[in-house]
Structure 1
């Protein structure tokens, strides 16, 4: 994709604005609207980020050469190099024009980072704190991988459900891949679920961009109290829908909330919470649908509640609980 000088100058202006001490929530919303208005905007911003980060690398190498007898870790400053600060702040439009030209002429180096995998077992939940300040709460029987690169923070969900509280970083957008769905944010709170071929995203705070299906699909922009859900490979008709706040955070507070969901999905959730398997007798039973709330406590009590909410009966065998339609 071709980047224009003007696009990059605007991207640099956003980079400076969002790193300032006076940045407001309104600024973040305006930035998100600009970023998602055109693929060229995102491309220009990524290029500006990469150039900005290259200045970091140049400054570190210069300090390393000035003190070759010291380990690199001891000479890397925790603050931004003053030379880079001068480039962004001094000279205003002239500096932005010069930097934009340098980006267009030279491109930007992208350096990958180490990938880390986090997982939980059956009945286990875990809170992960990432190096950028982001917190991820993993639901039971979940697995995801995190990779921080120079200009982007990446997460890949396998079979998982996770709640994200993403630290704001205008220099590195936060991207999540969940099957055929990509989620892009800068800083916000939201839930992503990828289970048994179904992908769902619900937003609690901030703005979230979701692309369902092909990477070049039109993005859906979600506000607090909105969500999307679809089956992988069938994203063409995905629509934004209202999602209650208690639904986004329900599993974190010990509640499983369902809206016209098949019993097969509910049993799948139970089997991620408890070691003793719950089985469905047949397809008819699996296709029964439930709208309601299940409190997460004892397995027997939860299964018993199902028999009051649905026309089913349960049978306990030596190694399982079997649910059958009445």
Structure 2
């Protein structure tokens, strides 16, 4: 099943705000209950949408003086009467824009992305810093009482400006990381997200298991699966894991398959293991992320296996197994 994005949830909530404002019948209410049952976060989205709709409707009412049962008297230059239905539609549309960050009541949402091989530093308006790894996409919302970052894809390191009145929360799928003033990284992987803390403390949990929360201190890391399990909690070499900020790959016993996957994140020219028997060989060393050729030569020298550098699109390691 495809996971519902925050934007999709907010758009649907805006539509429900309009339908409820028109006097719902029994069938509509039954459909609403079915929609709400699909995700517990939908109820909060709908309540926020209705609240913002009422505020927008009040503003329209004050400016236009419309009657709930009849078209309002409007200036002659306006050709369309403001009926309640139209006002509700405008209000819900404004609410949807407010929640998504296009129209602002109390927050601004900005999106950032990196392409393959790019590492980018983003100063945030609250004084925090985000460093984005290759092929990463984030959305940042700085509100009156909260600071939220949605990590859609990739990996990012955050240096959080201290503000105890505004918790800083990173959302990566169902995974949540909460901090006030600290530094940590979050990487989205196929089955969950990895969190490493370089300064201070953070609290981590999953929306699927909100009561199961743990705190991580500097020098610790953990992996939170998409189904809510917290695993691999313990001490880690955070600086080595954050070598990507200087566009380096620091290998300390990773397999050739793992090393190749890391290099391929950064480069259009892909490393290919031709001989599957080499995949479990382990490597140590520090390499430039944008230089897969040097790594391939190191593999050749270490394992005494052939490496083909003649193809522009890929580097082939080993020979096919007979």
Q: Give the TM-score, by structure 1 length.
A: 0.58
Aligned to 1:268, the other structure's residue is in SS state: helix
Q: Which residue of 1 aligns with 2:178?
A: 184
Measure how far apart 1:203 and its partner are. Answer: 0.9
Q: Which residue of 2 aligns with 1:209?
A: 203
Measure how far apart 1:276 and its partner are. Answer: 1.3
* Number of equivalences: 215
**Distance of 2:195 and 2:300 partners within structure 1:** 29
**Distance of 1:309 and 1:140 partners within structure 2:** 28
Q: Which residue of 2 aligns with 1:32?
A: none
Instruction: Report the CA distance shift for 1:165/1:149 in structure 2 as closer, same or farther (over 3 A).
Output: same
Aligned to 2:307, the other structure's residue is in SS state: strand
Measure how far apart 1:290 and its partner are. Answer: 3.4
Contiguous gaps of at least 5 residues in structure 2: 1-104
Give the 4+ runs in structure 1 shifted more than 6 A: none
**Distance of 1:229 and 1:308 partners within structure 2:** 34
1:157 and 2:147 correspond: no
1:240 and 2:233 correspond: yes
Instruction: Report the CA distance shift for 1:132/1:262 in structure 2 as closer, same or farther (over 3 A).
Output: same
Larger deviation, residues 213-222 vs 166-175: 213-222
Q: For residues 136-151 of structure 1, what are the structure 2 equivalents within 5 Å?
A: 136-151=130-145
**Distance of 2:234 and 2:269 partners within structure 1:** 35
**Distance of 2:191 and 2:213 partners within structure 1:** 20
Q: Which residue of 2 aligns with 1:293?
A: 285
Q: Which residue of 2 aligns with 1:278?
A: 271
Aligned 8 A contact 2:162 2:181 in 1: yes
User: Which structure is higher in RCO with an 8 Å CA cutoff and minimum separation 6?
Assistant: 1
Q: Which residue of 2 aligns with 1:253?
A: 246
Measure how far apart 1:168 and its partner are. Answer: 0.9
Task: Report the aligned-residue RMSD.
Answer: 2.9
List per-residue Cα deviations over 1:168-197 (Å, max 9, x = no partner): 111110111123321000110111111344
Aligned 8 A contact 1:213 1:236 in 2: no
Contiguous gaps of at least 5 residues in structure 1: 1-110
**Distance of 1:212 and 1:241 partners within structure 2:** 18
Instruction: Report the CA distance shift for 1:114/1:281 in structure 2 as closer, same or farther (over 3 A).
Output: farther
Aligned 8 A contact 1:201 1:228 in 2: yes
Instruction: Report the CA distance shift for 1:118/1:237 in structure 2 as closer, same or farther (over 3 A).
Output: closer
List per-residue Cα deviations over 1:96-148 (Å, max 9, x = no partner): xxxxxxxxxxxxxxx66332111111121111011100101111221111112
**Distance of 2:127 and 2:187 partners within structure 1:** 22
**Distance of 2:254 and 2:174 partners within structure 1:** 21
**Distance of 2:257 and 2:109 partners within structure 1:** 33
Measure how far apart 1:241 and its partner are. Answer: 1.1
**Distance of 1:255 and 1:302 partners within structure 2:** 12
Measure how far apart 1:213 and its partner are. Answer: 6.6
Measure how far apart 1:279 and its partner are. Answer: 2.8
Instruction: Report the CA distance shift for 1:172/1:230 in structure 2 as closer, same or farther (over 3 A).
Output: closer
- Equivalent of 2:108, from 77, 96, 114? 114
**Distance of 1:265 and 1:232 partners within structure 2:** 21
Q: Which residue of 2 aligns with 1:302?
A: 295
